Structure 1
Amino acid sequence: MDLPFIAATMARRGLLMPGNPVRIVRQFGALGRWGFGLAGELRQAAARSPERLAVIDDERQVTYAELLAGSERTASALNLRSGERVGLLCRNSARMIEALIGITSIGADPVLINTGLSASQLATVAKDQDLKVVIHDEEFAPQLALVENTEKIRADKIQAGRSKDLLPPAKPGRTIVLTSGTTGTPKGARRPTPGGFRPLCSVIDRIPLHAGDRILLAAPLFHTWGFAGLQIALALRATIVLHRRFDAAKVHESLIRNDVDALIGVPVMVQQLMDLGERERVTSLRVAAVSGSALPGGLATRFMDRYGDVLYNLYGSTEASWVSIATPADLRAAPDTAGRPPFGTTVKILDEDGSEAPTGTIGGIFVTNEMLFDGYTGQEAKNPEKSLLETGDLGHLDDTGRLFVDGRQDDMIVSGGENVHPAEVENLLAGLPQIREAAVIGVPDDQYGQRLAAYIVLRDGEKLAPDEIRDHVRRHRARFCVPRDVIFLDTLPRNATGKILARELRDSGQ
């Protein structure tokens, strides 16, 4: 049964601590009326801990009572009907949270927009998602020039209405998260609203976040992991530390200045913190939870050697929410593992015939849990019965049940009749001490159909010749895994969430 698990997890993470009886009644009353979406989670936090700092951002500090009032002013100022869609094009800030929760509080659907999209992509998204309004930071006004038939409102100008008590909408607003868009126009994925405490407990059972923690949300709030971090933080009545842009040196200083307990980010942020070199130790940090892309080879071990055994790696996607979580113990034992599925999640490795693959054999990764997405906008619900969802990734399980991701199904290439997984070579190269970052992709080849190309970023002051890289791969992998193209770059092209842009890599190698 779920109840013992939920009760035990909530007790361990401080969610069942005694408190003011009146506030506790109001807290659970808010959840009863508003549900477990963002609007309900903010209201339960404000009912239980109104004076607690909710957000510390680059401009101000606001308590939970003030954050709720700001979201209600936003809701009151917007002339929207239930089900209408509102684009949010903002950097991390209290103002963005107020707008996001204000939109859902009146039953409208917020669409979280990647701040790295081009003007033409923004115009396509606005049309495809049928946006009634776009709420944006001032800096993005020029990028919205091509957006037509959509009202544009600056986020810092929106709160003209008076705060007033709102009634729960007949139909709660549904948050829409855009896919990464690395291969074309992003699609909108409808996020489900949690139906109770189990989704929260499934994550915090494995990642030890506690009620009242100070959590630095470095991942963009428009990203699936950043959005999930916000949901978790509100449920925990945490103090959320936000910065508009990620700057490794400033974030390191913020971790110390704000006495941060937990950092939620993407792997490239951890890499950039490591690139700072030895600095003042962050003694308060208990959790550094990353998601969104693979951890480069050796990074987990190096990070924990410096920061302590605090690193957690969540593997998931916009569509699947989470698939597995690797703890520090998992990463010490196998630094490239994606960990194990948390409570309530089932993961299977299936071969091409749909049969379960033997231990150690690569196959497609399939998952089911209660937070699978409800389909893309413009389509019927894709997975109404929460059956197994194909992630699009290839992976295998070891004999302890740990999951390893071996690459995307569409990234695998056939070179001279041999199946080659670029991620296998990428992880091997990332382990070389001279290499800061490596990306390996397939490119067309007249003789073999496809071949591997390696794109390398060296650490400052280091040197490697292309033949040294090829020889390293040749010593550890089959001959068809050796990249014939080795291109050195100053940086790898990434989108705003840290994912590598393969199209730009191919262009840079021409």
Structure 2
Amino acid sequence: MFRQLGTQALRHARMVKVMAASGVIRPYGPRTLAGIATTLHQRGIGFAGGMHALAVRDPDGLGLVDELGELTWREVDERADRLAHGLHGIGVSEGDSVAVLCRNHRYFVDVSTALSKLGADILYLNTAFSAPQLGEVCRREKPVAIVHDEEFTDLVDASGTDLTRVVAWHDGEPASGRDVVLVEDLIAEGGADPVAVPGHTTRPVILTSGTTGTPKGAPRDETGLDGAVALLSRMPLRTGGRTYIAAPLFHTWGWAHLNLAMLLGSTLVLRRRFDPADCLATLREHECDAMVVIPVMMQRIMKLDPGERSGDWSFLQVVAASGSALPGDLATDWMDAFGENLYNTYGSTEVAWATIAQPQDMRDAPGTAGKPPYNTVVKIYDQDGQPVPQGESGRIFVGNTMLFGGYTGDTDEKKDMIDGLMSSGDVGRFDDQGRLFVDGRDDEMIVSGGENVFPQEVEDCLARHEAVQEVAAIGVDDDDYGTRLRAFVVTSGDVDEETLKAHVKDNLARYKVPREIVFLDELPRNATGKILKKDLKEHDVDGDGGREQDEPADEQSAS
């Protein structure tokens, strides 16, 4: 018992130290401190409590900037109160679930905060969903209403969902021919009185990427600080800064930094769509000290003319990346161009963040996923559930207080557990400095001619060729070898299949050379930038590795 109390005391001491270093814990006047304490005691540290606490401690501070203009923290909080009353007036009650299908803008924040004040659950939907996916998720999760940007009206129509609808972002007059309820109208007409504290704590539900099947719901916890402290323990984020969240807010990574910016009191800079040149212009205009991205966004920025990327970037202290592996030399190329500001996070929707690589980690050990942050344990086990020796590969398992409690909906599917640690679904190893290296998904490893091959290693090798912009590799059935490797590449120059095969052969073992290399104009990706390998498996190949034309990717990819 005493040992357990000592462990908890050390953990809390480290939490206080991290929060003090970031400026979260600092002196306030008695009245302000009392107001913050009362708010957090009554409403917790979710959106309802967090936004109101910011309105108490810095009411006139700049809270949010998007294409529509600026909002102070007081305005953000007051808009949420009014919207909560408005949503309640159209039938949304405590304990209900409401679906949100919005891009990155003020209405995403308005709706999330209003639902938190009401004590309603929030189902965040992927903006790249097809109509069948949208319909299937809504039928499974059973929301009573959906708040969506006007551009998704036809998608919602085609999904077959019969829900109360509220339109968030719209350009000009809303679509005619239907009764339209606007978020802005609900705010204008809603009462200004504070919303009564609900008995139910809001449960946000983040959907998995769905790259290998139907997206599943993974509920997150609005009440804990550990997730924020874990990020702050490895990233030098500070209070009072400006954070440009380019990653989709509906995804774990963007949503996490929305919460983190709220804790830090950082101004939120949002744009509905991602454009690499506009991204750099936005960073400069607002002198953002932090940017939150997914790797494909970094790739698109690095494709810009060097003149567009030049200049003094010393104000940009943290570029927080996550969502997929950093291919090839992207990490070092980025730091060569923008300075030592890259922090790459490895994790999943289910386990949150497992490791964070700091700039020096990626300089010293290119390809590393970094080290576990605050209050996180990562171990490597073999197929029999036994720990593997340091340096050997095995299945990655993660333990922290952020593990999700199981998928929502009517499903018995569970993640594998060993000794209280949850499987990340990947295979990896630790080096002698305690840095994690991820070999790839445990279900992507192929056995070709008796040899084990992870596609990610081959992808990284091909990505380092000067003519290759993007690459993905998969295993396909083979009559002679059981499975063979097929690579799909997007190139920026004139290069043929044999040249790329020779490049792999010069850098990796012979059995890792792809049997086929298919040339595409674009790789299929979802809205969070992950490559849809299930679509590549269904891709028609003419058998000669010839250059093929692919259908353009959805414009929402990396938007």
Residues 110-259 of structure 1 aligned to structure 2 (within 5 Å): 110-145=122-157, 146-155=159-168, 157-158=182-183, 159=186, 160-195=189-224, 197-259=225-287
TM-score (norm 2): 0.88
Cα deviation for residue 225 of structure 1 reads: 0.2
The letter of the residue matching 1:39 is A
**Which ranges in structure 2 are unaligned for 5 or more consecutive residues?**
1-9, 170-181, 542-559
Mapped partners of 1:381, 1:33: distance in 2: 35
Asked whether the 8 Å contact 2:99–2:147 carries over to 1, the reply is: yes
- Alignment partner, residue 450 of structure 2: 417
Q: Secondary structure at the match of 1:141?
A: helix
Of 298, 317, 328, which residue of structure 2 is paired with 1:297? 328
State the partner residue of 1:448.
Answer: 481
Q: Structure 1, residues 294-313: CA drift from partner, whole Å, max 9, x if none?
A: 00110000000010000000
Aligned counterpart for 1:433 among listed residues 461, 466, 472:
466
* Cα pair 1:105 1:172 within 8 Å, conserved: no
CA distance in 1, matches of 2:419, 2:205: 18
Out of 376-385 and 47-56, give the one that drifted further.
376-385
In structure 2, C-alpha distance between the alignment counterparts of 1:199 and 1:29, rounded to whole Å: 23
Measure the CA separation in 2 of the matches of 1:194 and 1:509: 48
| Most deviating of 129-138 and 471-480 | 471-480
More divergent stretch after superposition (276-285 vs 438-447): 276-285
Which residue identity does 2:458 align to in structure 1?
A: V
Greater Cα offset, 33-42 or 341-350 = 33-42
What is the one-letter code of the residue matched to 2:126?
N
The counterpart of 2:397, out of the listed 366, 370, 381, is 366
Measure how far apart 1:288 and its partner are. Answer: 0.2
Q: CA deviation at 1:385?
A: 12
- Shift in Å at residue 380 of structure 1? 7.8
Kindly indicate whether the alpha-carbon contact (under 8 Å) linking 1:365 and 1:390 is maintained by their aligned counterparts in 2.
yes
- Native 8 Å contact 1:218 1:264 kept in 2: yes
1:244-296 alpha-carbon deviations (Å, 9 max, x no partner): 00111001000000110000010111111111132242331000000000001
Q: Secondary structure at the match of 1:83?
A: coil
Q: CA deviation at 1:464?
A: 1.6
Name the CA distance, whole Å, in 1 between partners of 2:143 and 2:412.
19
* Matching residue of 1:51: 60
What is the alpha-carbon distance in structure 2 between the residues aligned to residue 285 and residue 74 of structure 1?
A: 34
For 2:47, the aligned partner's letter is L
> Is 2:70 the partner of 1:42?
no
SS in 1 for 2:233: helix
Residue deviations 1:406-451 (CA, integer Å, cap 9, x gap): 0001111121222211111111111222211111111122222211
> Kindly tell me: are residues 407 and 385 of structure 1, through their superposed partners in 2, closer, same or farther at Cα, counting changes over 3 Å?
closer
CA contact (8 A) 1:366 1:391 kept: yes
3-state DSSP of counterpart to 1:410: coil
* CA deviation after TM superposition for structure 1 residue 509, in Å: 4.4
**In 2, Cα distance between equivalents of 1:476 and 1:92:** 41
Which range moved further: 343-352 or 484-493?
Answer: 484-493
Counterpart of 1:339 in structure 2: which amino acid? G
Q: What is the percent sequence identity of the aligned residues?
A: 43
C-alpha displacement of 1:178: 0.6
Moved more, 212-221 or 437-446: 437-446
Give the deviation of 1:9 after TM superposition.
1.5
Q: Does 1:349 align with 2:380?
A: yes
Q: 2:357 aligns with which of 326, 333, 348?
A: 326
Residues 192 and 372 in structure 1, CA contact (< 8 A), matched pair in contact too: no
TM-superposed deviation, 1:382 = 6.1
Q: 432-441 vs 147-156, which deviates more?
A: 147-156
On the 8 A contact 1:106/1:172 being kept in 2, the answer is no
Aligned to 2:490, what secondary structure does the other structure show? Answer: strand
Contact 2:290 2:317 in 1 (8 A): yes
Question: Where does structure 1 lack aligned partners over 5 or more consecutive residues?
Answer: none
Give, in angstroms, the shift of residue 194 of structure 1: 3.5
Residue 206 of structure 1 aligns to a residue whose secondary structure is coil
State how far apart, in whole Å, the 1-side matches of 2:41 and 2:509 are. 59
Q: In angstroms, what is the RMSD of aligned CA positions? A: 1.7
Distance 1:382 1:500, change over 3 A: closer
Which shifted more, 3-12 or 489-498? 3-12
Amino acid in structure 2 at the alignment position of 1:471? A
Name the amino acid aligned to 1:205: S
